[in-house]
């Protein structure tokens, strides 16, 4: 059976939907015509449901728990990180329940949450640490969302334990709080602080385990400020003192740290220390000045920032980790922090750089947009940025570009077990190392969430899963 015809049958397998328009084209249709097609909200939901069928086929069930291996070809490798592991799949099931109202998906999310609780380290933060995408605060984010919809006693106990462990694992240098030797969003102080901000705001119960996090947030702000290095008329940040390479964009560098400082400058934890509050505000703006100094601007006004230095000053990524889709969050947050509409002008310029690159259909050298459709590095991160922008701009062009990118995601799916998976290269430097993962940042769960967010944008449904490192776009 021809692959396109097989994909059509997979998507229609568990629904009464008509075939998606981009699948209805005949096999003789020119690829350019197929690429210009636009799917409907029903098509995106059908693809998300197909992703769920594949995830269900690789699930490992024991009692009232369920686990998903990172790579089903290595079933013993089960990861607890939000980046690669089970938490991302739980998030997908929460978003599925939010989109469909089907109680089965909520039960599956709770079963996954039970497995996360069972796998928590017996004490401390464990080898994975406390970071947002690698450790305990990411798990806490997922558990909190589950507790709001399908609470269970062990989940609430686990949240209290995590809060205490995160506070207790901080190393204090005076009034500065440090966890692992990292400043970044992925595993370091920046991402951890954003998770605590989200958890404090989300859990308003009088007995909330996160109420006592204000001192920790002030300590995080101080340690991030201490780690900055002056450059030109601004400030830049490294991942850690032991990492010579500098990544200026969101996941590992200046844009992410500056975003965090802008967020903390607006947080009540800093309101009683006006000196620290002003320093956090200035730190965020200083980071933006540094980024402005290294930005490449095209003749059309598009803006983008290189991947890393030294050695990769001519390499440009596009998605969440090292591209405009991530760094654009900083300028949105600076607009909110300052009330200055100047920062709003940076955002369409960053979006223009993505569109002008030619993706998803083509890219000049594939260097910054390789065989990867993920939330972190590829299509889904780009589409999520344009869906989020659309919430603020209401621009039909933003929504149409997001659809173009997500249509490409669906085209690149591989049918398996009555559903869909995505075989891709996680790392640019090892393009032949391709696998189909299950998790959020590099796998089917993240793809499924992006598909549901795309569907939701077309139906005017607000998303449920909005990560702690995301600004408000409305």
On average, the pLDDT of the chain sits at 92
Q: What distance in Å separates the CA atoms of residue 39 and residue 404, rounded to the nearest whole number?
A: 8
Residue 454 near residue 406 (C-beta atoms within 8 A) = yes
> pLDDT at position 8, please?
57
> pLDDT at position 204, please?
76
Q: What distance in Å separates the CA atoms of residue 47 and residue 450, rounded to the nearest whole number?
A: 11
409, two tokens:
């995601």
Residue 254 near residue 306 (C-beta atoms within 8 A) = no
pLDDT band at 295, cuts 50/70/90?
Answer: very high
Overall average pLDDT of the 106-123 stretch: 98
Judged by average pLDDT, the poorest of 20-34, 122-136, 299-313 is: 20-34
pLDDT band at 362, cuts 50/70/90?
Answer: confident
Residue 321 near residue 460 (C-beta atoms within 8 A) = no
Radius of gyration of the CA atoms of the chain, in A = 21
Q: How far is CA 228 from CA 240, 241, 243, 256, 282, in A?
A: 11, 11, 14, 12, 12
The DSSP letter of residue 343 is G
Overall average pLDDT of the 455-474 stretch: 97
Q: Dihedral angle at the C-alpha atoms of 442, 447, 453, 458, nearest 10 degrees? A: 140
> pLDDT at position 34, please?
35
> pLDDT at position 364, please?
66
What sign for the dihedral angle of Cα 345, 279, 199, 321?
positive
CB atoms within 10 A of CB 267: 20
Overall average pLDDT of the 312-320 stretch: 96
pLDDT digits (tens, 9 = 90+) for 50-79: 999 999 999 999 999 999 999 999 999 999
Overall average pLDDT of the 372-395 stretch: 97
CA 282 centroid distance within chain: 26
The DSSP letter of residue 309 is B
> pLDDT at position 244, please?
82
């599925």: which residue's tokens? 96
Residues 92, 93, 97: CA angle, nearest 5 degrees: 120
pLDDT digits (tens, 9 = 90+) for 209-259: 998 899 999 999 999 999 999 999 999 999 998 998 899 999 999 999 999
Candidates 465, 410, 454; CA nearest to 41 is 454
Q: What distance in Å separates the CA atoms of residue 118 and residue 419, rounded to the nearest whole number?
A: 29
Q: What distance in Å separates the CA atoms of residue 49 and residue 419, rounded to the nearest whole number?
A: 8
Residue 287 near residue 237 (C-beta atoms within 8 A) = yes
Helices (H), 345-443: 346-356, 379-393, 396-411
């570009």: which residue's tokens? 401
Beta strands 176-178 and 171-173 are antiparallel
Please provide the size of the chain in residues. 474
Whole-prediction pTM = 0.94
168, two tokens:
């207790």
CB atoms within 10 A of CB 358: 11
């997908």: which residue's tokens? 92
Give 9 or 107, the one with higher predicted confidence: 107
pLDDT digits (tens, 9 = 90+) for 2-30: 444 544 555 555 443 444 443 443 332 22
279, two tokens:
């320093």
What sign for the dihedral angle of Cα 302, 307, 311, 315?
negative
**457, pLDDT greater than 50:** yes
383, two tokens:
């589409």
């Amino acid at each position: 059976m021809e692959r396109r015809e097989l994909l059509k049958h997979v998507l229609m397998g568990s629904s009464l939907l008509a075939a998606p328009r981009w699948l209805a084209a005949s096999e003789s249709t020119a690829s350019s015509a197929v690429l210009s097609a636009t799917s409907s909200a029903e098509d995106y939901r059908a693809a998300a449901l197909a992703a769920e069928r594949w995830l269900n086929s690789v699930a490992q069930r024991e009692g009232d728990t369920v686990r998903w291996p990172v790579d089903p070809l290595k079933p013993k490798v089960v990861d607890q990180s939000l980046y690669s592991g089970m938490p991302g799949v739980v998030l997908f099931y929460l978003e599925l329940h939010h989109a469909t109202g089907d109680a089965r998906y909520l039960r599956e999310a709770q079963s996954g949450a039970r497995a996360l609780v069972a796998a928590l380290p017996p004490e401390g933060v464990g080898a994975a640490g406390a970071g947002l995408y690698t450790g305990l605060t990411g798990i806490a984010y997922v558990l909190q969302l589950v507790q709001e919809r399908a609470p269970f006693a062990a989940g609430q106990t686990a949240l209290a334990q995590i809060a205490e462990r995160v506070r207790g694992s901080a190393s204090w240098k005076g009034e500065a709080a440090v966890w692992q030797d990292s400043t970044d969003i992925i595993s370091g102080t920046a991402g951890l602080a954003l998770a605590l901000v989200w958890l404090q705001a989300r859990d308003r119960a009088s007995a909330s385990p996160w109420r006592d996090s204000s001192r920790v947030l002030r300590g995080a702000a101080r340690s991030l400020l201490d780690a900055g290095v002056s450059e030109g008329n601004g400030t830049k940040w490294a991942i850690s003192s032991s990492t010579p390479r500098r990544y200026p964009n969101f996941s590992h560098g200046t844009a992410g740290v500056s975003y965090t400082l802008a967020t903390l400058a607006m947080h009540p934890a800093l309101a009683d220390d006006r000196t620290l509050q002003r320093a956090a505000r200035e730190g965020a703006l200083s980071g933006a000045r540094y980024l402005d100094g290294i930005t490449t601007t095209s003749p059309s006004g598009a803006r983008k920032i290189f991947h890393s230095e030294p050695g990769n000053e001519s390499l440009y990524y596009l998605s969440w980790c090292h591209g405009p889709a991530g760094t654009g969050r900083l300028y949105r947050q600076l607009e909110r922090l300052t009330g200055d509409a100047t920062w709003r002008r940076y955002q369409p310029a960053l979006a223009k750089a993505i569109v002008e690159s030619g993706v998803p259909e083509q890219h000049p050298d594939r260097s910054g947009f390789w065989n990867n459709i993920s939330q972190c590095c590829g299509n889904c991160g780009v589409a999520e940025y344009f869906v989020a922008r659309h919430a603020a701009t209401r621009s039909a062009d933003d929504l149409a570009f997001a659809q173009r990118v997500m249509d490409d995601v669906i085209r690149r799916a591989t049918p398996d077990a009555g559903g869909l998976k995505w075989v891709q290269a996680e790392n640019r430097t090892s393009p032949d190392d391709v696998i189909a993962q299950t998790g959020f940042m590099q796998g089917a769960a993240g793809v499924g969430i992006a598909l549901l967010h795309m569907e939701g944008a077309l139906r005017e449904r607000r998303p449920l899963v909005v990560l702690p490192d995301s600004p408000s776009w409305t």
